[in-house]
């Protein structure tokens, strides 16, 4: 299927190397192969394939290739230095696309070694906007489908829900057995699996690692390390409470969500909140990656417990306050309070089952599917 990043990645390949990351099986390889069809001589090399690994190590790929796709090279020792040399030595006119299923934070935190040599993009699961474009369906039908199947291409496109469930069971097993094991020790896998199972039941709530650590009989420091692994592998993401002082915000409890809504255990309201969180993160990452906009995703919470599900920021200003509801059309009390406190922000209450849109107390009571379809990605 056509993905939302294909044209912009193709455009950027003409000028710089492109790094494309995202969860396992989110569609990076499919997107790469579709882009290969736009070139006369393209070559795909995967570090996980032994024959391809030898070609990468020897740098013996075809010099005539006008597009090189290198997958999972972050698993190579000293890959950053190696890639710098490849980028600098490539022939004029040769495009380079680097993909990976782990977050390449070192690209952003590595000083000057790769500065100015690449553009980076994060590929996310399918959103309401993408599914409407792909299938020509209404936003309501698209949101229903994504809440049932999740946004990963294979279960989304599966012929029935049974096939989607079979895919998810195998996907979860592979994440633990293969990807997580690369970042942790074998004896930690059981604890890591239990940690993920507990996170599946805590979606949307402020996350107390100390409390979970007591349940699992491990230290909070250990769980913090595990959480960073899960984030690096695009299994979960966290959002921090909004605060002008970023350091203070980071000290407060985050909320955790899954990239695959199908992994969430909870009532329909929690699944809706997770799906909205994923699409909002997709929106902010897209704006950052494609335009350089300082977009951010947060939530708002006070010491007295008043909370709004999500807040979007542009630089140091809040642009949106967003609350999710299944059917409740009465303006959320905390949303009303924060809408008055942050008058520059658009206050929106997204309602899944909505008969009539309204504007009350400075809050737009809006159809969730319709609003999500209006996002940029």
Question: What residues have CB less than 8 Å from 2, skipping those under 6 apart?
Answer: 34, 133, 134
Q: What is the 3-state secondary structure (H, E, C) of the chain?
A: CCCCCHHHHHHHHCCCEEEEECCCCCCHHHHHHHHHCCCCCEEEEECCCHHHHHHHHHCCCCCCCCEEEEECHHHCCCHHHHHHHHHHHCCCCCEEEEEECCCCHHHHCCCCCCCCCEEEEECCCCCHHHHHHHHCCCHHHHHHHHHHHCCCHHHHHCCCHHHHHHHHHHHHHHHHHHHHHHHCCHHHHHHHHHHHHHHHCCCCCECCHHHHHHHHCCCHHHHHHHHHHHHHCCCEEEEEECCCCHHHHHHCCCEEEECCHHHCCCCHHHHHHHHHHHHHHHHHHHHHHHHCCCEEEEEEECCCCCEEEEEEEECCEEEEEEEEECCCCCCCHHHHHHHHHCCCCEEEEEECCCCCCEEECCEEEEEHHHHHHCCCC
Residue 1 falls within a domain, yes or no? no
| 62 plus 177 within the same structural domain | no
| 86 and 226 part of one domain | no
Question: Cα–Cα–Cα angle for 248, 254, 257, nearest 5°?
Answer: 155
Q: Which range of residues forms the domain containing residue 100?
A: 6-122
Q: Are residues 24 and 68 in the same domain?
A: yes
Predicted local confidence at residue 245, as pLDDT: 54
CA–CA dist 125, 42 (Å, integer): 26
pLDDT at position 107 is 45
- Res 108: pLDDT: 45
Residues 199 and 338 in one domain: yes
The residue from 122, 152, 183 where one domain ends is: 122
Domain-terminating residue out of 97, 122, 147: 122
Same domain, 187 and 302: yes
Q: Does one domain contain both 197 and 229? A: yes
User: How many structural domains does the chain have?
Assistant: 2
Q: Do 133 and 16 sit in the same domain of this protein? A: no
pLDDT in tens, the chain (377 residues): 889 999 999 999 999 999 999 999 999 999 999 999 999 999 999 999 999 999 999 999 999 999 999 998 888 888 888 998 999 889 888 999 999 887 665 444 444 466 668 899 999 999 999 999 999 999 999 999 999 999 999 999 999 999 999 999 998 888 777 777 766 666 677 888 899 999 999 999 999 999 999 999 999 999 998 999 899 889 999 999 997 654 555 557 899 999 999 999 999 999 999 999 999 999 999 999 999 999 999 999 888 888 999 999 999 899 999 999 999 999 999 999 999 999 999 999 999 999 999 999 899 999 999 999 999 99
Q: What is the pLDDT of residue 180?
A: 72
The verdict on 328 and 350 lying in the same domain is yes
> Which of residues 74, 105, 122 is at a domain's end?
122
Let me know whether 159 and 35 are in one domain. no
The answer on 363 and 264 residing in a single domain is yes
Check whether residue 337 and residue 203 sit in a common domain. Answer: yes
Here the CATH number for the domain that contains residue 48 is 3.40.50.300
CA angle centred on 63, ends 61 and 66, rounded to 5°: 100
């Amino acid at each position: 299927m056509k993905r939302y990043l294909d044209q912009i990645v193709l455009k950027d390949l003409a000028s710089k190397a492109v790094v494309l990351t995202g969860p396992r099986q989110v569609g990076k390889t499919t997107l790469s192969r579709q882009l290969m069809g736009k070139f006369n001589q393209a070559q795909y090399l995967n570090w996980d394939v032994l024959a391809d690994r030898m070609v990468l190590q020897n740098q013996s790929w075809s010099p005539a290739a006008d597009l090189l796709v290198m997958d999972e090279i972050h698993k190579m020792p000293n890959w950053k230095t190696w890639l710098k040399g490849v980028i600098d030595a490539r022939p004029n006119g040769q495009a380079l696309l680097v993909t990976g299923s782990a977050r390449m934070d070192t690209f952003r935190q590595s000083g000057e070694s790769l500065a100015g040599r690449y553009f980076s993009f994060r590929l996310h699961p399918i959103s309401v906007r993408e599914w409407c474009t792909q299938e020509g369906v209404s936003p309501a039908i698209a949101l229903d489908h994504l809440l049932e199947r999740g946004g990963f291409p294979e279960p989304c496109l599966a012929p029935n829900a049974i096939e989607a469930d079979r895919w998810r069971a195998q996907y979860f097993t592979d994440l633990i057995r293969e990807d997580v094991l690369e970042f942790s020790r074998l004896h930690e896998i059981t604890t890591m699996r239990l940690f993920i199972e507990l996170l599946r039941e805590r979606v949307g709530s402020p996350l107390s690692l100390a409390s979970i650590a007591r349940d699992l009989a491990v230290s909070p420091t250990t769980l913090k390390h595990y959480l960073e692994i899960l984030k690096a592998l695009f299994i979960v993401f966290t959002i921090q409470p909004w605060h002008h002082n970023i350091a203070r915000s980071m000290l407060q409890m985050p909320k955790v969500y899954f990239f695959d809504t199908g992994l969430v255990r909870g009532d329909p309201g929690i699944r809706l909140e997770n799906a909205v969180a994923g699409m909002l993160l997709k929106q902010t990452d897209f704006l950052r990656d494609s335009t350089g906009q300082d977009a951010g995703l947060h939530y708002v919470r006070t010491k007295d417990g008043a909370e709004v599900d999500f807040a979007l920021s542009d630089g140091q200003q809040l642009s949106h306050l967003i609350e999710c509801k299944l059917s409740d059309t009465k303006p959320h009390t905390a949303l009303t309070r924060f809408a008055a406190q942050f008058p520059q922000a658009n206050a929106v209450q997204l309602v899944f089952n909505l008969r009539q849109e309204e504007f009350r107390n400075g809050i737009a009571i809006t159809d969730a599917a319709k609003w999500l379809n209006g996002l940029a990605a």
